[in-house]
Structure 1
Amino acid sequence: MHKIFFSQKKLIKLLKKGDARAYSYIVDLYYKKLCDYASNLARDNFKSEDIVQNVIIRMWQQREKLSSNVSIKNYLYKSVYNEFIDQYRKEIAVTKLEKKYIEGLDIVIEIQDVTETNRLMTLVQNEIERLPPKCKETFLMSKQEGLTYVEIAEYQNVSVNTVEKQMVKAFSILRKKMKEKIVSFIFLLFDIKKP
């Protein structure tokens, strides 16, 4: 099987031309090994498959840029590592963003007036309603229903990376539209606990 790929250069040449057999051969040969490698990095099977799928899809999309002298194996392993680092950095960014708002809870807790609290709740809910549809759905699934990014990704049939982007987008929109005090109130409204 796949005897046509007797050399690395021929494999890359066929891949660059858009030969689906060359692509299938690479996927068959490396997918499981790359998932194992990604799993060792991410310590999460869902995330590791997501990382490998992103890498393999990107390789196909950018196949014309591949150097004829590149080692496919080295290229894929390095790409998986880079994708893991990118996702890790994004997670840290989201965590920092959430912590920033959680730290503002002290201000919100000082609000004693029930009328003021109700007014803030209405403002927050109105702004969440105005979020773009996918962004709103993702935000509510995470903050109201308490689903993990992996669970949301499975439900929406998207990558975890896409879910993370939607959450960052939601926080960014809410921060721009509302004062810091009100944005902090979101965490009370959705009963988010301080880590």
Structure 2
Amino acid sequence: MDNSNLADKELAGLLKGGDRYAFRAIFNLYEKRLYAFVFSITKSHYSTEELLQEIFIKLWRQRKKIDTSKSFNAFIYTIARNLTYNHLRKIANQENLKQELWKNISCINDVEDQLIFSEYEDILEDILANLPQKKRSVFILSRQEGKSNQEIADLLGISQKTVKNHLWQTLKLIKTQLQPHLGLLFPAFFYFFI
């Protein structure tokens, strides 16, 4: 048995008895090696620092379980390995949970958005249905078919100024009638409609 194993055995025996100086000596002896070991797995300085603290806390709490007839080195590295793998499993589970949550939230938001959008389309259709034919035609040609004021004027046989007036009056009416419903309406939907 070499001197380092003998020193580890003696320190382990003292630690098992609750000797704080032995704990400090073990900390000084293993801190850098355990840091390198844990970092090689986590690739994160922050996680490694956190895990290093947990390793030494667990070592102190489990000191009475130390078997001085066996390798102390194996004992402390087993603690380090188990805590590190548990940490990685926890992160993986949290990441999966987070992804599942975001997927569900985006699905809910998509459904909510579609419902709100559908409701406002219905409201807009009701408003348009009650407009005079000329105003309704101007609005549909402009906002839903994307025609220019000149094209609308040519199609309906009216002046561009009349097209502008019809659009202005229709938009004002739509805004007024949609106002009570705007609490549910997202601004993007509002601009889509008008």
- Aligned partners of 1:38 and 1:49 also within 8 Å: no
- Aligned partners of 1:13 and 1:68 also within 8 Å: yes
- Aligned partners of 1:34 and 1:77 also within 8 Å: yes
CA distance in 1, matches of 2:107, 2:8: 60
- Paired position in structure 1 for 2:68: 68
- Write out aligned runs for 1:94-109 (5 A): 94-104=94-104, 105-109=106-110
Superposition deviation, residue 18 in structure 1: 0.7
User: How many aligned positions are there?
Assistant: 111
- Paired position in structure 2 for 1:55: 55
- Paired position in structure 2 for 1:110: 111
CA distance in 1, matches of 2:17, 2:43: 36
CA distance in 1, matches of 2:29, 2:23: 10
- CA 1:32–1:75: 2 relative to 1, 3 Å: same
Unaligned runs of 5+ in 1: 115-195
The answer to which structure has the higher helix fraction is 2
Q: TM-score, normalised by structure 2?
A: 0.52
Q: TM-score, normalised by structure 1?
A: 0.52
- Write out aligned runs for 1:1-195 (5 A): 7-104=7-104, 105-112=106-113, 113=116
Superposition deviation, residue 72 in structure 1: 1.9
- Aligned partners of 2:66 and 2:75 also within 8 Å: no
- Paired position in structure 2 for 1:134: none
- CA 1:49–1:70: 2 relative to 1, 3 Å: farther
CA distance in 2, matches of 1:8, 1:27: 12
Superposition deviation, residue 107 in structure 1: 2.8
CA distance in 2, matches of 1:6, 1:87: 32
SS in structure 2 of the partner of residue 69 of structure 1:
coil
SS in structure 1 of the partner of residue 112 of structure 2:
coil
CA distance in 2, matches of 1:71, 1:103: 48
Superposition deviation, residue 7 in structure 1: 4.0
Percent identity of paired positions between Structure 1 and Structure 2: 25
CA distance in 2, matches of 1:76, 1:94: 27
Superposition deviation, residue 6 in structure 1: 5.4
Counterpart residue identity of residue 41, structure 1: I
Counterpart residue identity of residue 50, structure 1: E
The C-alpha deviation readout for 1:65-86, integer Å capped at 9, x for no partner, is 1112232222222221111110
Superposition deviation, residue 103 in structure 1: 1.8
The C-alpha deviation readout for 1:33-74, integer Å capped at 9, x for no partner, is 110111111111111121121111110011111112232222
CA distance in 2, matches of 1:52, 1:16: 20
CA distance in 2, matches of 1:22, 1:69: 17
Unaligned runs of 5+ in 2: 118-194
How well do the aligned residues superpose, as a CA RMSD in angstroms? Answer: 2.2
CA distance in 2, matches of 1:82, 1:6: 25
